[in-house]
């Protein structure tokens, strides 16, 4: 087993503070074992890009971090809070754990019966019980930040895919998570709309947000990622800086995968 | 048909009598509609909808016990005639010392019926909402109840509006069955009127016309509501 815990160097934004720690994470669907012992540490402010072949468990790992999937066993800690899935976890601890992460879905999953603004306000108002007027201001600011300040009263169906995904990012940010999780956020988009979403994500990375991004956008990985993780068969096969992993992959499996997609 | 028309127009006196009956029947018929048919429909539908949502939730819950209770309820109501159910409630229950007022009996019967049929509509509507909508709710920290109330049910309501409107319109007409448990709704009023004057064709047609007018207005409202809810799709 490779120890990744001290493999990254830190810039000003990245202290040595460990934001995410995954230990011995397993997930089984019936007979199918999808995650076979994931170990991963992510420092505060790091941007990690996850690549790997279809079915390797990338989505499942993100969903476990957001506890949309209950792992079979393993321990996940985020910002000091941890859940040990070898024991049974209470609904309450899952709920408070979930607040630590914001999830951005491949197909946006916006609430179609609510406007962009209402989508963003929903969490703070309903879940956190915050004051509506204050939340409205915050939500407006967030939508402006992701570049759709002029469309806050539009319904999702009236927005392009790129705009919808940016609302999705704003919706997750509104809950003020410690970590943002992105599952192929641009893969459902027309090529000309990919850039606007990646730009928002890059800005977020520059602000020091800790991010785990599953994506096949190699340019994003090169420009924004601190490290790239290659997953295959339910384990982390290789982890390294983008330029390293793309030019000198250590593992044969990584090399094969990179040859295939480039 | 021809004879009937002939008998009306060939005989001015009979024509005058029919016009008179039509006029004097209108008031008691409308009274029956306003005092009983419409309240019976609305009250039964509201209670029925609440029952239906609860039943639908029980059917999709992970608790076996709730599932079974809901299944038995839906199966029993759907497997027996409404008329028989009304007879059991109104004429049957007094045998075990439970006597219920006609209107209340009818409300119970119709609510149970709406609850069972509409629960299938609502269950299908809830299941038609993509799983990603639940997950999006959970991902921003919502509980099951919050996601259900804020995200799933509003969308399911849109999906189930057309079939539920049809149920509502059917219920307006079905309330005529309440006449057999002595509720003086519109159809029973019509029966009372014809008992005195034997003008069945005229009075029952008049009642039918009023049902039609009510249902027509309801379908106009349905169209309006559907367009309103269509804003975002
Ligand atoms: N809810 C589920 N029930 C059963 N099997 C599942 C479920 N979710 C995922 N799987 C299976 O788990 C495996 C890993 O899926 P996952 O979605 O994590 O892969 P992925 O790396 O994200 O792939 P892709 O690049 O295609 O998105 C696949 O074989 C998939 O069929
Ligand atoms: Mg995936």
- Report domain extents, chain B: 2-230
Residue of A nearest to B157 (CA): A113
Size of interface A-B (CB pairs under 8 A): 65
- Give CA angle at B16 (B13, B20), nearest 5°: 140
pLDDT-based confidence at residue A7 (cuts at 50, 70, 90): very low
Q: Is A206 left (phi over 0), alpha (psi -120 to 50) or beta?
A: alpha
Best of B132, B137, B139 to substitute, by most chain A Cβ atoms within 10 angstroms, is B139
pLDDT-based confidence at residue B10 (cuts at 50, 70, 90): confident
pLDDT of residue A129: 96
- Return residues with CB closer than 5 A to ligand 2 (ion): A 59
pLDDT of residue A2: 43
pLDDT of residue A198: 97
Angle between the N-to-C axes of helices B38-60 and B64-78, in degrees from 0 to 180, rounded to the nearest 10: 140
| Average pLDDT estimate for A113-117 | 97
> What residue owns the CA closest to ligand 1's atom 9?
A60
Residue B25 has pLDDT above 70, yes or no: yes
pLDDT of residue A140: 97
Residue A243 has pLDDT above 70, yes or no: yes
Q: Considering CB atoms only, which of A110, A113, A127 is closest to B154?
A: A113
Using only C-alpha atoms, chain B has a radius of gyration, in whole angstroms, of: 22
pTM of the predicted model as reported, rounded to 2 decimal places: 0.87
* Chain A residues in contact with B155 (beta carbon < 8 A): 112-113
Rounded to an integer, what distance in angstroms lies between the CA atom of residue B8 and that of residue B199?
12
Residue B232 has pLDDT above 80, yes or no: no
Output the six-digit token pair for A63.
């969903």
pLDDT digits (tens, 9 = 90+) for B101-160: 999 999 999 999 999 999 999 999 999 999 999 999 999 999 999 999 999 999 999 999
Residue A12 has pLDDT above 60, yes or no: no
Ligand 1 centroid from CA A34, angstroms? 7
- Over the range B14-47, which residues count as b (16 or more CB within 10 Å of their CB) and which as e? eeeebeebeeebeebbeebbebbbbebbebbbeb
| Average pLDDT estimate for A218-240 | 96
Ligand 1 centroid from CA A119, angstroms? 27
pLDDT of residue B138: 96
Ligand 2 centroid from CA B212, angstroms? 55
What are A81's strand-pairing partners? A78
pLDDT of residue B231: 65
Ligand 1: nearest atom to the Cα of A106? 27
Rounded to an integer, what distance in angstroms lies between the CA atom of residue B119 and that of residue A109?
26
pLDDT of residue A6: 41
pLDDT digits (tens, 9 = 90+) for B49-98: 999 999 999 999 999 999 999 999 999 999 999 999 999 999 999 999 99
pLDDT-based confidence at residue A177 (cuts at 50, 70, 90): very high
Residue A213 has pLDDT above 70, yes or no: yes
Could you give the maximum distance between any two Cα atoms of chain A, in Å? 55
pLDDT of residue A15: 58
Provide the sign of the torsion angle of the four alpha carbons A29, A30, A36, A39, taken in this order: positive
A210 in Cβ contact with A179 (< 8 Å): yes
Contact between A126 and B155 using a beta-carbon 8 Å cutoff? no
pLDDT of residue A8: 42
Contact between B140 and A172 using a beta-carbon 8 Å cutoff? yes
Residue A24 has pLDDT above 60, yes or no: yes
Residue A14 has pLDDT above 70, yes or no: no
Residues of A with CB under 8 A from a CB of B: 66, 68, 91, 95, 98-99, 101-103, 105, 107, 109-114, 122-123, 126-128, 155-157, 171-172, 174-175
Quote the distance between the C-alpha of residue A160 and its chain's center: 22
Residue A11 has pLDDT above 60, yes or no: no
DSSP designation for A149: G
* Chain A residues in contact with B140 (beta carbon < 8 A): 102, 122-123, 127, 171-172, 174-175
Q: Please, where are the H alpha helices in chain B?
A: 2-9, 12-32, 38-60, 64-78, 82-87, 102-128, 131-139, 144-146, 153-174, 186-197, 200-229
Does B142 contact A at CB distance below 8 Å?
A: yes
pLDDT of residue B6: 76
Query: What architecture is the B2-230 domain classified under in CATH?
Result: Orthogonal Bundle (1.10)
Q: In this structure, what is the dihedral angle of CA atoms A63, A164, B225, B145, given to the nearest 10 degrees?
A: 20
Ligand 1 centroid from CA B54, angstroms? 33
- How near does any CA of chain B get to the CA of A118, in Å? 11
Ligand 1: nearest atom to the Cα of A61? 18
Contact between B135 and A157 using a beta-carbon 8 Å cutoff? no
A261 lines ligand 1 (CB under 6 A): no
Ligand 1: nearest atom to the Cα of A57? 18
How high does pLDDT run on average in chain A?
93
| Average pLDDT estimate for A120-143 | 97
pLDDT digits (tens, 9 = 90+) for A46-98: 999 999 999 999 999 999 999 999 999 999 999 999 999 999 999 889 988 99
pLDDT digits (tens, 9 = 90+) for B32-41: 999 999 999 9
pLDDT of residue B226: 87
The percentage of chain B sitting over the pLDDT mark of 90, rounded to a whole number, equals 90
């Amino acid at each position: 087993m490779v120890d990744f815990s001290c493999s990254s160097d830190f810039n000003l934004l990245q202290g040595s503070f460990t934001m995410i720690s995954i230990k011995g994470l397993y997930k089984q669907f019936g007979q199918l074992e999808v995650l076979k012992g994931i170990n991963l540490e992510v420092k505060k402010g790091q941007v990690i890009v996850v690549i790997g072949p279809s079915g390797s468990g990338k989505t499942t790992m993100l969903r476990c971090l957001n506890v949309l999937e209950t792992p079979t066993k393993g321990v996940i800690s985020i910002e000091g809070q941890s859940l040990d899935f070898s024991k049974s976890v209470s609904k309450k601890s899952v709920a408070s754990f979930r607040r630590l992460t914001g999830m951005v879905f491949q197909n946006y999953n916006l609430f179609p019966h609510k406007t962009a603004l209402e989508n963003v306000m929903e969490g703070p108002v309903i879940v956190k019980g915050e004051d509506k007027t204050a939340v409205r201001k915050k939500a407006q600011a967030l939508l402006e930040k992701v570049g759709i300040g002029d469309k806050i009263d539009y319904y999702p169906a009236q927005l392009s895919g790129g705009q919808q995904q940016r609302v999705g990012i704003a919706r997750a940010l509104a809950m003020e998570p410690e970590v943002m999780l992105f599952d192929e956020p641009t893969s459902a988009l027309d090529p000309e709309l990919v850039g606007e979403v990646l730009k928002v994500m890059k800005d977020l990375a520059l602000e020091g947000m800790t991010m785990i991004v599953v994506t096949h956008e190699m340019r994003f990985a090169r420009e924004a990622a601190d490290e790239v993780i290659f997953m295959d068969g339910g384990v982390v096969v290789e982890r390294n800086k983008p330029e390293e992993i793309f030019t000198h992959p250590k593992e044969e499996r990584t090399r094969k995968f990179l040859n295939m997609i480039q | 048909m021809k004879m009937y028309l002939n008998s009306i127009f060939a005989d001015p006196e009979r024509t005058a009598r029919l016009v008179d009956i039509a006029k004097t029947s209108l008031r008691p018929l409308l009274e029956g509609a306003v005092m009983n048919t419409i309240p019976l429909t609305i009250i039964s539908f509201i209670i029925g909808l609440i029952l239906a949502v609860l039943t639908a939730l029980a059917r999709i819950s992970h608790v076996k016990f709730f599932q079974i209770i809901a299944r038995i309820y839906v199966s029993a109501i759907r497997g027996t005639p409404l008329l028989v159910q009304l007879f059991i409630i109104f004429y049957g229950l007094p045998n075990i010392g439970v006597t219920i007022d006609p209107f209340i009996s009818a409300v119970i019967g119709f609510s149970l019926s709406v609850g069972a049929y509409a629960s299938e509509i609502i269950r299908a509507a809830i299941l038609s909402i993509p799983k990603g909508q639940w997950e999006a709710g959970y991902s921003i920290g919502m509980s099951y109840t919050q996601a259900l109330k804020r995200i799933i049910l509003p969308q399911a309501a849109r999906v189930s509006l057309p079939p539920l409107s049809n149920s509502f319109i059917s219920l307006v007409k079905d309330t005529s069955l309440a006449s057999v448990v002595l509720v003086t709704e519109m159809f029973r009023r019509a029966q009372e009127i014809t008992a005195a004057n034997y003008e069945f064709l005229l009075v029952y047609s008049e009642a039918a016309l009023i049902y039609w007018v009510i249902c027509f207005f309801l379908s106009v409202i349905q169209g309006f509501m559907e367009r309103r809810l269509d804003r975002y799709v």
